[in-house]
Amino acid sequence: MADIFRPSRSGAAAVLGPLEGEIMEVIWKADRAVSVPDVHGALIADGRAISYSAVKAVLNNLADKDRLTKTREGKATYFAAAKSREAFEAQVVSSVVQSLKRNYGAAVIAQLVDELAVDQETLSEFERVIAQRKSELKP
């Protein structure tokens, strides 16, 4: 699923909804599987006036979008982040760069290397020549 990117926001909220971003921040900070009351309590403690049912609905939405994994223990449901914050941000950055290069890259950016090499053998040959030249330069 393509992410909707909002440049005016920062962090996870740039591709998530505002409440989704806040909830993901709570879960990443907890660094373990959390229940709906845990998340609701953390948001209330942060001064966010929000209902329990709204938190539960957003958590379920995030699980449907594969941002969270959902497990049941007895009657309680626990949610954990599917990806670490670093992995999530890396995915966001990668998708932005790939989108730019795919759609408009040639028109707006000057890339050092704008393509993959023709083949491994060619690259290895270049590496061999570079190493040879460097060794020749050494006194």
Partner 1 sequence: MSWHDSALHAAGNAVLHTPFQNLWPLVAAPGLAALVSDRSARFLARTPQASWPAAILAAAPGLAGLGVIWQALQWDVVRTWHGLVMYRITPLVAAGLAAYAVMRALQRQAEVARLFAAAAAPSDRLRRAADRLGLRARQLATADKECFVAGLLRPTVFVSTGALDQLTDDELDAALCHERAHVRGYDTPSLFALSLLRDLAPWGRGAALEAFRAAREANADRQAATSAGPLNLASALVALARPGPALAAGALPMARNDSLRWRMQALLETEAPPEPGPQRFWPGLALCAALVAWPAAQLQVMWLFCESR
Q: Which of residues 54-93 bind partner 1 (CB under 8 A)?
A: 86, 89-90, 92-93
Size of site (CB under 8 A) for partner 1? 42
**Residue 18: CB atoms within 10 Å:** 10
Residues 103-124: b if buried by 16+ CB within 10 A, e if exposed: eeeeeeeeeeeeeeeeeeeeee
User: Per-residue string for binding with partner 1, 117-136, x by CB under 8 A?
Assistant: xxxx-xx--xx-xx--xx--
Q: Are 83 and 3 in contact (CB under 8 A)?
A: no
Q: Pick the binder of partner 1 from 72, 74, 112, 138 (CB under 8 A).
A: 112
Residue 78 C-beta: closest distance to partner 1, Å: 28
* Smaller CB separation from partner 1, 2 or 45: 2
